[in-house]
């Protein structure tokens, strides 16, 4: 196997998985025509993401369908590998499974040391014949990023900055996939943009993995607690499409192979009537 072709720019979308299925399918077909290299969907809260990957593969012709991120606590390695083995050759070539260990406050008593848990899961996938080129890891800290390069195609960091991308590339070295997510807020009004950013960060800023990563990047506990403008500006591209394009380019210049944009259209997602025009504007500017 070879690493699926994902191009330089993709989209991460909650709505493509959890929105109205008919509208999501139509949107996926349109995004495929627009030329996005990959469509990323979440998988963390349940075990149903593989079925949605298969659904979206059926609605697209060229675009890779990726997960960001399958939760190791919701899947058995052998079952995941068997599902992948059941895909056709053309579908396998367009499937990239991002996997992660989730977060202690979410998992509870089952929680274990992230690196040990991930290594065991990857051992299970290896034993079941899952191709490493169709896997990547949700790497934030240096050790998980290093593991992603050792055992999978590479890393898919979430809620990071171009500075983090530069550090991740240094750890991974050349030839390994680095595909960070980038939040995009296409809103010119500062107050409304901040409101959208706060809604997007409300859940994540309470999770230790993200907080620790932001602390490593030089932000303070007070900045994180307050979600101050410095943190928001570092994590989100705010303003017109030119701001999004510049931030994507900053990641690419820092060593990313691919940037998946998440357009923040509302505090808990947005309708396709809102998102499709925004995705089309971005496509015109970046693809």
- pLDDT at position 114: 77
Q: What is the mean pLDDT of the chain?
A: 94
- pLDDT at position 270: 79
- pLDDT at position 189: 92
DSSP labels, 219-286: --HHHHHHT-HHHHHHHEEESSHHHHHHHHHHHHHTT-S-EEEEE--SBTB--HHHHHHHHHHHHHHH
- pLDDT at position 268: 64
CA angle centred on 237, ends 279 and 19, rounded to 5°: 40
Can you identify the CATH homologous superfamily of domain 9-286?
Luciferase-like domain (3.20.20.30)
- Give the integer Cα–Cα distance in Å for 15 and 19: 4
CA atoms within 13 A on the CB side of 279: 29
- Give the integer Cα–Cα distance in Å for 59 and 53: 10
Given a cut of 70, the residues of the chain with pLDDT beneath it are 102-112, 267-269
- pLDDT at position 45: 80
User: What Cα–Cα distance (Å) separates residue 95 from each residue in 84, 102, 135?
Assistant: 9, 21, 9
- pLDDT at position 180: 98
pTM of the model: 0.95
- pLDDT at position 163: 98
Partners of 183 in beta bridges: 236, 262
- pLDDT at position 99: 97
Domain boundaries along the sequence of the chain: 9-286
Which residue, among 148, 147, 40, 140, has the nearest Cα to 96 in the 3D structure? 40
């Amino acid at each position: 196997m070879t690493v699926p072709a994902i191009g330089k720019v993709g989209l991460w979308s909650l709505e493509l998985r959890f929105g109205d299925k008919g509208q999501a399918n139509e949107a996926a077909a349109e995004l495929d025509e627009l030329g996005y290299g990959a469509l990323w969907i979440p998988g963390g809260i349940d075990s149903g993401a593989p079925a949605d990957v298969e659904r979206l593969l059926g609605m697209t012709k060229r675009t890779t369908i990726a997960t960001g991120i399958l939760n190791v606590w919701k899947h058995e390695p052998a079952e995941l590998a068997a599902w992948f083995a059941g895909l056709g050759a053309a579908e396998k070539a367009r499937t990239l499974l991002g996997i992660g260990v989730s977060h202690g406050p979410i998992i509870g008593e089952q929680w274990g040391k992230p690196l040990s848990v991930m290594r065991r899961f990857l051992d299970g996938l290896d034993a079941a014949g899952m191709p490493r080129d169709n896997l990547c890891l949700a790497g934030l800290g240096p050790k998980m990023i290093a593991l992603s390069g050792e055992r999978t195609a590479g890393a898919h960091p979430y809620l990071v900055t171009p500075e983090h991308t530069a550090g991740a590339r240094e750890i991974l070295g050349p030839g390994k996939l680095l595909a960070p997510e980038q939040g995009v807020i296409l809103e010119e009004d500062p107050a409304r943009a901040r409101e959208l950013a706060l809604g997007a960060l409300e859940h994540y800023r309470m999770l230790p993995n993200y907080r620790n990563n932001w602390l490593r990047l030089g932000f303070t506990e007070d900045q994180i607690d307050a979600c101050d403008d410095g943190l928001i500006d570092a994590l989100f591209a705010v303003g017109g499409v030119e701001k999004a394009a510049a931030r994507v380019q900053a990641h690419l210049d820092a060593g990313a192979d691919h940037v998946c944009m998440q357009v923040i259209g509302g505090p808990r997602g947005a309708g396709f009537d809102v998102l499709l025009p925004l995705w089309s504007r971005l496509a015109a500017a970046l693809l």
